[in-house]
A and B are shown apart, each in its own frame.
Chain A
Amino acid sequence: MVEVFAVASGKGGTGKTTSTLALGMALAAEYDVTVIDADTGMANILFHAGLSDVETTLHEVLAGNAPVEEAVYRRFGMDVVPCGTSLGGFREAEPGRLRDVVATLAERTDVILLDSPATLGSRSAVLPIVLADRIVVVLQPTIPSLSDGLKVQEYATTYGTDVAGILFNRVTDDEAIDRIATKAQRYFEGETLAVVPESETVRAARRASEPLLAHAPDSPPAESYWEAASALTVRPGESAAVADRFRSAVIPDDS
C-alpha cells in the first residue's frame, strides 16, 4: 500500500518543512514512511534532518546523474530524500523527473510525504500537488496564509488531488484559534488535523539540525503533530498501481 501526501502552503514561513518531518516521524510509528524534499528551489529538509553534508541529493537524481536509491537516507526511523542547495544543481534538475522518483519510491514504502514549494507560481512548484493523492495544508491564522491556503486547495482539487486536512501552525492565541479553526473548516475540505502552538522548541530543533519529534518528542508542538498524524487515516493503495499511475501521469518532460 502507498499513499502520497503533498504538504503544502501557499506562502512561506508557515513551518511546512518542520510539519512534513514531524508528520513523517509520527506516521513512521505505524507505517513505512518516505519524506521527499520536493521544494527543489529552496531546499530545507537537509538542514532540518542533519543531512547538509550528504553528497547525493534529489538534484542529482532530477539531473539524471544518480539513481534515486543513492539519494535516500535512513534517518529518524524513515527514509529521507533531501534536496541540494546549489544553484547549479537546481538549474540542471528536470522537475518532471519527480514523477519517476515518486513512482520508484512508491514501490517500497507505505506513505510518501512531499515537502512542496510555498508558491503556485510555476509548473514545477505545482507538480508535487498534482502528483499527490491528497494534500495537507499548513496554515497560520493570518489573512494571507488562509487565502493562500484556499488557493492551494483550489489548485489541488482542480488537478484531481483531494484534501486530507488542514494544520494550524505557529499559533499564539489559544482562545481565538478555536473560533478561527471552526470558521476556516467551512471552506476547507479536509478536517482540522491539529493546532500547533508557536514554540521556541521548534527553533531549537532547527538549530540542532534535528526534526522536532527527535529533538523534543514530548514538547507541546510535538504532541500536536502526534495528534495530527493519528487524525490522518492513510488510505491503502496498491503500490504497483500507484507506481503505474505516476509513470503514466500526463506530465510532459520538458519542464
Chain B
Amino acid sequence: MKLPPGQLRRRRVVTDLSTPLANALEAELTGYMRLESQDALLLDGDGVGVLTFEDGIPVLAYHTGTDNGGAAALADIAVAGPHRMELYELDRHVLTEVHEEADLRVPPGLPAERLAGNSRLGERTRERAPGDRRHERSEGANELDAVEAFLDDEETIETLRERASEEATLRADEWGFEVE
C-alpha cells in the first residue's frame, strides 16, 4: 500500500490507542495513522502499521513488516505497543483507489476493539459509520475468539516475550538498573 505523506496533524508516543482513534473519529479525519512500535525504535525496526480513515471511520489496515492486511494486520499492530503514532490528513480522492483493496479492509469498529480493547469506542465508531458499512463485522470471530487465537499463537507470544526481555535488558543499562 503506497500513500503520499499528507499533512501531519498529530505525532506522539501512545500506550493506549483509544485516544488517537477517538480523536480521529471526533475530527472526522480523512487520512491515515502510522503506528511505529517503540520496540522497533529501540531494537531493529520491523515495519509499521498503517490504518486509513474516511471521515473518522477506519477503512484499511496494513502492516509493512508482515505484509498482512485487514484483521491480521490489526493483530500485528496490537501486540507492538507502545507506538509512536503519527496522524496524517489526505485529500479524499487520494484514498479512493487505495480503498478498493478489498483484502485490507477492516470493519469500522474493529480497530478500537483490537488495538485498544475498547468495545464502547468500537460501538460508537460503528454507529457513526455510513449506512452501508454499519453492519460490517469481521468474519465469524468475535473479540474473545480473537483473544483466544492470539493466546494460541505461541510463536508470536514467544517473539513478544523475547523482545520485551531484550528491551528490558537494554534499558537496564541505560537506566542504571541491575539485571539478574
Give A residues with C-beta under 8 Å from B: 10-13, 118-121, 123, 126, 130, 140-148, 150-151, 153-155, 157-160, 173, 176-177, 179-180, 183-184, 186-187, 250-252, 255
Q: How far is the CB of A62 from chain B (nearest CB, A)?
A: 17
| CB <8 Å contact, A11 and B15 | yes
Chain B interface main SS type: helix
CB–CB A173/B144 < 8 A: yes
B140 within 8 A of A: no
Question: Which B positions have Cβ atoms within 8 angstroms of A?
Answer: 13, 15-18, 38, 75, 78-79, 81-82, 113-118, 143-148, 150-152, 157, 160-161, 164-165, 167-169, 171-172, 174-180
Whether A146 contacts B151 by the Cβ 8 Å rule is yes
B179 close to A121 (CB less than 8 A): no
* Contact indicator B165/A158 (Cβ below 8 Å): yes
A90, chain B: closest CB distance, angstroms: 17
Which single member of A12, A118, A154, A251 contacts B164 (CB below 8 Å)? A154
Given the complex of chains A and B, what is the CA–CA distance between A180 and B152 in angstroms?
10
B79–A147 touching, CB < 8 Å: yes
Q: Would you call B168 and A142 a contact (CB within 8 A)?
A: no
A143 touches B18 (CB 8 A): no
| Distance between Cα atoms of A160 and B168 in the complex (Å) | 11
Which of A11, A141, A157 is B81 in contact with, Cβ under 8 Å? A11
Q: Which residues of A contact B152 (CB under 8 A)?
A: 183
Give the complex CA separation of A158 and B82 in angstroms: 19
Can you list 23 A-B pairs, Cβ within 8 angstroms, ordered by A? A13-B118, A119-B15, A119-B82, A120-B82, A123-B174, A126-B175, A142-B143, A143-B114, A143-B147, A147-B157, A148-B15, A154-B164, A155-B164, A155-B168, A157-B165, A159-B179, A176-B145, A176-B147, A183-B148, A183-B151, A183-B152, A187-B161, A250-B178
Chain B residues whose C-beta falls within 8 Å of the C-beta of A120 in the assembled complex: 82, 168
Given contacts A11-B15, A12-B16, contact A179 B148 (CB under 8 A): yes
Cβ-defined contact, A180 with B15, below 8 A: no
Closest B residue, CB atoms, query A172: B119
With a CB–CB cut-off of 8 A, which chain A residues contact B174? 123
A184 to B115, CA, bound (A): 18
Other contacts beyond A159-B180, A187-B151: 18, CB < 8 A: A10-B15, A10-B81, A11-B117, A120-B168, A123-B171, A123-B174, A123-B176, A123-B177, A142-B117, A143-B75, A144-B114, A144-B115, A150-B164, A151-B167, A157-B165, A159-B172, A176-B144, A252-B176
User: How far, in whole Å, are A25 and B26 apart by their CA atoms in the complex?
Assistant: 40
A147 CB contact (under 8 Å) in B13, B160, B178: B160
CB distance from A138 to the nearest CB of B (A): 13
